[in-house]
Amino acid sequence: MFRRKIEEAVKALQFRDLYLLPSLSSKDPSEIDLTTNFSRNIVLKIPIASSPMDTVSEDEMSIALALLGGIGVIHRNNSIEEQIEIIKRVKSAPPVRIREAYLYTSDPCHRALEVLEDLEVRDLPVISLEGRIVGMIYYNDLIRSCKEYISLEKILRPPRYVNIKNIGEARKILFEERLDSLAVVNQDLVYIGTIIYRDLFTDLQPSLDDEGRLLVAAAVSPFDRNRVIKVDRYADAIVTDLAHLHNKNAIDALRSIQKEVSKDLVLGNIATYEAVKDLAENIEKIDGFRVGLGGGSICTTPEQAGAYVPTLYAVASVRDAVDDLGLRVPVIADGGIRSGADIVKALAAGASVAMLGYLLAGTDEASSPAIRIGSKIYKYYRGMASKSSMERRFAVDRYSRRAKRVEEGIEGLVEYKGSVFKVVPELIEAVKAGLGYAGASNIRDLWEKSRFLVTTERGDRGLKIEL
């Protein structure tokens, strides 16, 4: 009996084991449509969500992802009030990218020139040390003044700005006055940020609710009824955040709170066909599944507990169950996704969305500090089951439920990657190229047309030729 368990062990392939077989394509990558569902009622422009990790996903990340067409999932490693405040900041943010791009009146001329050249703009707002808008500076004026060492104050032109409440007027002002930048201020003329003209003309479109506000989701524990009820008033979707939701106690807790949730409820994490069946038999409200167990780059569940399901295999298993049971809800691939290629493979295996942690952790918008080591910059990154993360959760929320005493995550540093506004578009171009190779024009098309090729360590990709 026990020997048979080993002999009949399930053969599960990982991202690195499979590639897509190319097929006849009828679309250029630029024509491919990546519109998808995050949950039953939430539609995204791109298949990307942020993982609810406290070193990744707070307001800056969620605002950026929503502007790019994806969605952020706010972590629960905080008090209920803190989580709600983060959600409110996302929902109140304007549906346009606002950068911190400005000059001070005290800035030397050569620095002003460098800033304009780096941003590739011909003008920028100038603010006082108190943060109030005082004028505009123009590249041509700087060129002349730098030769004569004139201070910025002497060449300032009248300020141009838009009030945060009238953000919709920005496009018109920029176009009519032929400006490259426009300051955004509050009612007291205090600087909030800058709109760059070219940011208004990207291919990506924001993910918005019915009122034109940015979409955002929130992570909760099914055992924390109070958090679920309060957060549900503000977030667009609720995502359960347990490493192993296929648990009788968790299912019982879900059964008792599901009627309290008015927004879409995404259940996770699960990793098997059987988990879908058991949840479907016990839970009426299911608007999506978050899928993955032990596949994250900083997850140590396989080493600590001996349990693991490769994300690709888990996604395919869950998607089969979803289809067989006629549930018609999206599957979110969560864990171990380290490239655009992995996103394509996850989608081909039946996912609607890829949930990213590692790929977003080194960006400007990730909610962790930057650290310089030698000549390189890194950002702090930790698993939500790491010791420090669990200690913070129980310190800030006395209602947190301690079910495990073992660490199943680690802490580390990831190399700085720049802005999400650079990283995500590059990933999206890779995903579109992948769909093009598979002969698919959209994600649903990919589900039907994709075929996988299995490789081995002795395959061509592992062949090393020495001359």
Give the β-pairing of 376-382 and 370-373.
Answer: antiparallel
Instruction: Enumerate residues 6+ apart whose C-beta is below 8 A from 18.
Output: 312, 345, 452, 453, 454, 455
Which of 3, 398, 402, 405 is an active site residue?
398
Rounded to whole angstroms, how far apart are CA atoms 13 and 309?
A: 9
Structure tokens at 10: 């399930």
End-to-end CA distance of the chain: 52
Alpha-carbon distances, residue 429 vs 74, 226, 338, 343 (angstroms): 26, 41, 15, 11
Instruction: Enumerate residues 6+ apart whose C-beta is below 8 A from 75.
Output: 52, 53, 54, 56, 57, 58, 83, 219, 241, 384
Which of 76, 109, 299, 319 is an active site residue?
299
Rounded to whole angstroms, how far apart are CA atoms 446 and 20?
A: 10
Q: Tell me whether residue 290 is one of the annotated catalytic residues.
A: no
Give the β-pairing of 123-127 and 133-138.
Answer: antiparallel
DSSP states of 402-448 as a string?
----S--B-EEEEE--B-HHHHHHHHHHHHHHHHHHTT-SBHHHHHH
Neighbours of 309 (CB within 10 A): 24
Neighbours of 287 (CB within 10 A): 22
Asked if residue 271 lies in contact with residue 315, where contact means CB atoms within 8 angstroms, the answer is no
Rounded to whole angstroms, how far apart are CA atoms 432 and 451?
A: 16
Instruction: Enumerate residues 6+ apart whose C-beta is below 8 A from 149.
Output: 109
Q: Tell me whether residue 398 is one of the annotated catalytic residues.
A: yes
Structure tokens at 41: 């009622």
Catalytic residues, which ones? 299, 398
